[in-house]
Chains A and B, each alone.
Chain A
């Protein structure tokens, strides 16, 4: 029981960066922009959060706000290339990964390897003490609840608002959306920046809550897992939440199984999240239903004069 309490309580630390980043990527990809630069954007915003936190008298809120802005700014740079200049989205995205890694290593020197107080969990007397689920549900830091709310907001915006409808139209069939008077480039740029802001939140959370330290290349592939998570979630926010919790839960249980000395091979444990992804992808491919496919125009630059 104690095992389950601690395990569940630690799950959001791993899950929140994945969920926030996947949510950002869903916004991107629903508008037809494939953003493989997630890892690089997360690194930039992790550094931005750390620097802001350390330089402004250790304000977590300010650190996160700066991380969100940094994510949106880096994403805007990416967006100018892929939306306005119509460069190849895959190549540009990978460039952003290397740029983020190199740039943060170069300018991040003064803020690298400084222990941060960071984000602390809240404590609600009574509720937090409920066995097993008390700390999981009521003993998290405020950002966990914010991200939870954001899943609802993004989901509502995509499926229940006019803007969301137009954004999805731009990702499915930009020609038709254009003919209907939707400014494709503006919608795509907006989606890229809003998505970048969410990825920025993920990076800031990783530095200020998950690790409470910034080190070179600290994302360690978590941006790529978010990219996979989007496919796993079939581009749906609620499923990204579930997938993120699943991945986070697996990551959080690994050190605890090791600490108990249970005889489960650790390479099998490390492999588990990826094996689960693979199984779900296969399952989804077999049982694909209408409306669960990738946005039709994903990764395709829109040119109005293009003849089909």
Chain B
């Protein structure tokens, strides 16, 4: 009887010990890092994916080896899994994704291939060998909003946004907060197109804003159309995802951009050295750590550009864009004076602040 009990106790102890050691063990990469990238769209989509591809090319130069990629892998597990497995079979041990819709498939792959590291920009899932990353784009859009507020003559700004999600709503709100820092009377009219990638709707939305008399158009959609319309109308615009000067050189005053090598290079290094520890709720990177601004166009006065860059430094040092009091359109206080919203509150941002014309649903 005692012997039996002892055996059970010993077995339990050993099992517990194994479990504990497995948990404490940091992710170890076998061999040299061999990253490969999976894009959900074409590499020259002009926005999100193109910013990723440009980072990949810069990283290749910096790292001295090639990073293979595959384009247009749609956001379904039956397409993502074979693409990732093909790379793993070829000896790649760091698989990088590119989309929100990859979250579940990457979670599944990470569990099945514990010796492979998975990174997924715009994803939502995390694990011992899986990290999702998104940028605090409210910081970069806030800085672009400052530029917009400073160069607007009428104080009437416009914004073309995609879908009313937290991560879009925060860019709209931060844009106005930034604009009001330079012009306290600034107003922002936002149009949600309800699509990420529909240039016909984006053109109509930007045109409607022009007709309403705005003189700077900001954006958070996937094509450069709002900037192009701004240039046609002889007004200014600020871009998102990439430096939009390429498409509308005369109009683009500033762009909120992705600089993925800022995040990927140090992360690859830490994965290789064995010190990588994925954040359990995802990496949420600040300006300068994966998201940044391309500032500024020729129409922006030098002192404005300097102010914006000084504010960028202040944010890197810890300043929060949504420092209270933040009041929504209905007059309800959402962030108390002196307080700052938690990351959870940011992701769930389901309101527009006072001074924004437009609605979420």
Contact = CB atoms under 8 A, between A and B. Distances in A.
B162 to A, nearest CB: 12
A266 interface: yes
Interface string A194-227: 0000000000001000111101111010100000
Contacts of B191: 255, 258-259
Interface string B44-75: 11100010000000000000000000001000
A254 B195 CA distance: 13
B208 A258 contact: yes
Interface string A279-302: 000000000000000000000000
A66 interface: no
Contact of A211 (B42, B199, B357): B199
Given A6-B211, A14-B204, A109-B44, A220 B198 contact: yes
Given A105-B42, A112-B44, A220-B198, A213 B223 contact: yes
Contacts of B190: 258
B109 interface: no
A261 B223 contact: no
Nearest to A3: B211
Binding site of A, secondary structure by majority: helix, strand, loop or mixed? helix
Given A115-B248, A206-B200, A255-B191, A216 B205 contact: no
Given A6-B208, A115-B247, A261-B357, A212 B228 contact: yes
Nearest to B43: A109
A16 B158 CA distance: 27
Contact of B192 (A115, A212, A258): A258
B225 interface: yes
Contacts of B248: 115
Contacts of B45: 112-113, 215-216
Contact of A255 (B50, B208, B361): B208
A252 interface: yes
Contacts of B247: 113, 115
Contact of A115 (B193, B200, B228, B358): B228
Contact of A261 (B72, B204, B358): B358
Contacts of A10: 204, 207-208
B180 interface: no
Interface string A111-123: 0110100000000
Contacts of A220: 195, 197-198, 200-201
B200 A210 contact: yes
Nearest to B194: A270
A214 to B, nearest CB: 8
B42 A112 contact: yes
Interface residues of A, number: 35
Interface in A1-55: 2, 6, 10, 13-14
Nearest to A259: B208
Interface string A49-67: 0000000000000000000
Interface in A232-284: 251-252, 254-256, 258-261, 263, 265-267, 270
Contact of A251 (B72, B204, B228, B357): B204
A206 B200 CA distance: 8
B225 A258 contact: no
B189 interface: yes
Interface in A118-169: none
B208 A215 contact: no
B224 interface: yes
15 contacts: A2-B211, A10-B207, A14-B200, A212-B199, A215-B199, A216-B42, A218-B199, A220-B197, A220-B198, A252-B204, A255-B193, A256-B208, A258-B191, A258-B208, A266-B194
Interface of A: 2, 6, 10, 13-14, 105, 109, 112-113, 115, 206, 210-213, 215-218, 220, 222, 251-252, 254-256, 258-261, 263, 265-267, 270
6 closest residue pairs by CB, A with B: A113-B46, A211-B199, A261-B357, A255-B208, A255-B205, A259-B208
Given A10-B208, A211-B199, 15 more contacts: A2-B211, A6-B211, A10-B204, A13-B204, A14-B200, A14-B204, A210-B200, A211-B203, A213-B228, A215-B222, A255-B207, A256-B208, A259-B208, A259-B211, A265-B359
